[in-house]
Amino acid sequence: MKDSIEHIAINVADIDSAVEWYISSFDCELTAKTAQKAVISFANCKLVLVLPSIERQHTAFVKRDAATYGELTPRGNEAPSTYVSDPAGNIIKLFAG
């Protein structure tokens, strides 16, 4: 099975206005929301809107051998994960799958 994108996280200054814009602009669904983070589900991926003070922008993948890239650490109510950077410096979050 191929690896998959679990979610893409982008930083926003205002959770409520970002949620309103995405929901009104795309065929998607708000599936979780706190004061610091919101999750919007599309047909094939989740978009996480997050305040910059909480988490950095990143793309998260489900990868069978994620643990070979670093210790998988639980964060909040998420599955254990680790962070790496690609050659261009983009942040990649890896979940075991």
Provide, rounded to the nearest whole percent, the portion of the chain with pLDDT above 70. 100
pTM of the model: 0.90
Within a 13 Å sphere around the CA of 6, how many CA atoms are in the beta-carbon half?
Answer: 16
pLDDT band at residue 77 under the 50/70/90 scheme? confident
- State residue 75's pLDDT score: 85
- State residue 45's pLDDT score: 95
- State residue 59's pLDDT score: 98
Q: Which fold has domain 4-96?
A: 2,3-Dihydroxybiphenyl 1,2-Dioxygenase; domain 1 (3.10.180)
Residues paired with residue 46 on neighbouring β-strands, in sequence order: 7, 41
Q: Assign residue 67 a region: left if phi > 0, alpha if psi is -120 to 50, beta otherwise?
A: alpha
